[in-house]
Amino acid sequence: MKAVAWHGTHDVRVDTVPDPGIEQPTDAIIRVTSSGICGSDLHLYEVLGPYLDEGDILGHEPMGVVEEVGAEVTHIKPGDRVVIPFNISCGHCYMCSKGLQSQCETTQVHDHGTGASLLGYTKLYGQVPGGQAEFLRVPQAHYGPIKVPEGPPDDRFVYLSDVLPTAWQAVEYADVPEGETVLVLGLGPIGEMATRIAQQRGAGRVIGVDLVPERLQRASSHGVETLDITAYDGELPAAVRDMTDGRGPIAVIDAVGMEAHGAPIGKLAQRLAGMLPDAIARQMVEKAGIDRLSALHAALELVQRGGTVSLSGVYGGAIDPMPMMHMFDKQITLRMGQANVKRWIDDLLPLVTDDSDPLRVEGFATHHLPIEDAPHAYEIFQKKDDGAFKVLLRP
């Protein structure tokens, strides 16, 4: 089969590799029909090479059609149309029973002290072959796959794998009272979807901050009050307070993480980490504060006293400095974590199966490309060329 494989920093290729097969009775094999490229994939493209081996198959946002199931898989069958969550969870351990599927005790990667295994995402998370491929072996398929109806296009459902539950959890964790104001930092796919979900769930005002004109325009087209951070020359907090009775928003969602702009030292460290020998680079990533923390610090500054900061952006450094005195003084609640995909599916399925498409998922992707074009797709997504906002690969 054809699959998108990592071969080095800024070097992904479409390789021919063996088709996957059933390895455990809880496995399934799906024929992939759509697979997204995520902002988190750019971390692999840019800096997380020390945790990858050449030839590792990427991708954690797939959907497709079931080809084969193991003996213990009974809730899906060949021919079913399914979406595959990016985190691999068993559904019956203590953590899964609490709705914390991202911490599944069955698939935790104990060698690295991390949570549940993820599709297509480094040794830190199990090094499980990913879904940017013609076929995918799905572990824990007795629980994970989400069955969806025939008829509507893949674009209606594929975001159940990651984008929708991640954005939903970000809004849930933000805990925005009805009619109150939430600010979203970063209007990439997760931030943009979070603005839509916040509106759908009754936020009174949604403010969005970014620096990419196309992203600002996209958000403002459905009623988000947008701010171009480049226009404020360090005065963004004052501008936001002026918009919110001097207090700031009740909640801030940081959908940027270590993709933040404006911190050249952190950016340089990330670049250097990608060039160092693996053993040294791993220590740098794990022990040094390499993240660009501009967005997180901005979120803590922007949120009103007694408010909540919800982190969906990914941070990777182990000892990043945090302004603890400032956080304590402002009595801020901080919530974060990988999305617990299955926990939110009952909330999300009615929205994506609604004929009116209230979250407008069918028009969410800007590019639909054949899997053979994956190297080009990664490049334009990383550079934000050609208006690339969300890219779906079609095997």
Which phi-psi region, left, alpha or beta, contains residue 392 (left: φ > 0; alpha: ψ -120 to 50)?
beta
**pTM of the entire structure?**
0.90
- Binning the chain into helix, strand and coil, the percentages to the nearest 5 are 35, 20, 45
Phi, psi of 205 (to 5 degrees): -135, 140
DSSP state for residue 156 in the 8-state scheme: G
Is 215 strand, coil or helix?
Answer: helix
Read off the pLDDT of residues 32-61 as tens digits, 9 standing for 90 and up: 999 999 988 988 887 777 789 999 999 999
User: Does position 266 have pLDDT exceeding 50, yes or no?
Assistant: no
Tell me: pLDDT of 313 over 80.
Answer: no
Does residue 12 surpass a pLDDT of 90? yes
Is 315's pLDDT higher than 80? no
Distance CA 298, CA 237 (A): 8
* Mean of pLDDT values over 209-227: 95
pLDDT tens per residue, range 74-119: 999 999 999 999 999 999 999 999 999 999 999 999 998 889 999 9
Q: Please give the Cα distance from 166 to 177 (Å, whole number).
A: 19
- pLDDT of res. 274: 52
Task: Residue 250: name the closest of 298, 302, 198 by CA.
Answer: 302
65 close to 94: Cβ distance less than 8 angstroms = no
Domain limits, the chain: 2-162+340-394, 164-336
- The pLDDT assigned to 127 comes to 96
Distance CA 342, CA 145 (A): 9
Fold of 2-162+340-394: Quinone Oxidoreductase; Chain A, domain 1 (3.90.180)
Pick the closest to residue 267 from 294, 305, 231 (CA basis). Answer: 294
Q: What is the pLDDT of residue 263?
A: 46
Q: Is 228 exposed, middle or buried (0-12, 13-18, 19+ CB in 10 A)?
A: middle
Q: Cα–Cα distance between 392 and 214 in angstroms, integer?
A: 19
Instruction: Give the CATH H-level superfamily of domain 164-336.
Output: NAD(P)-binding Rossmann-like Domain (3.40.50.720)
pLDDT of residue 299: 86
Q: How many CB atoms lie within 10 A of CB 262?
A: 14
Measuring CA to CA, how many Å separate 380 from each of 47, 202, 338? Answer: 17, 35, 26
Burial class (CB in 10 A: 0-12, 13-18, 19+), 2: middle
Which two structure tokens, joined as six digits, stand for 280? 């040294």
Average pLDDT of the segment spanning 155-178: 97
- pLDDT on residue 350: 97
Where would I find the H helices in 311-356? 324-330, 341-353
Q: What is the pLDDT of residue 258?
A: 53
Place of tokens 């893949």: 154
Q: Which two tokens stand for residue 256?
A: 């940027």
Strands (E), 99-165: 135-138, 146-147
Tokens of 288: 């040094």
Q: Helix 236-243 and helix 294-302: axis angle, to 10°?
A: 30
Note whether 195 and 205 are within 8 A (CB).
Answer: no
Q: Quick one: average pLDDT of 217-232? A: 94
Structure tokens belonging to residue 281: 């680079």
Query: Which residues have CB under 8 Å from 166's CB, separation 6+?
Result: 190, 193, 312, 339
- Please choose, from the candidates 3, 285, 250, 34, the residue with its C-alpha nearest in 3D space to the C-alpha of residue 120: 3
Partner residues linked to 4 by β-bridges: 14
Mean pLDDT of 144-170: 97
- Tally DSSP H helices, then E strands, for the chain: 12, 15
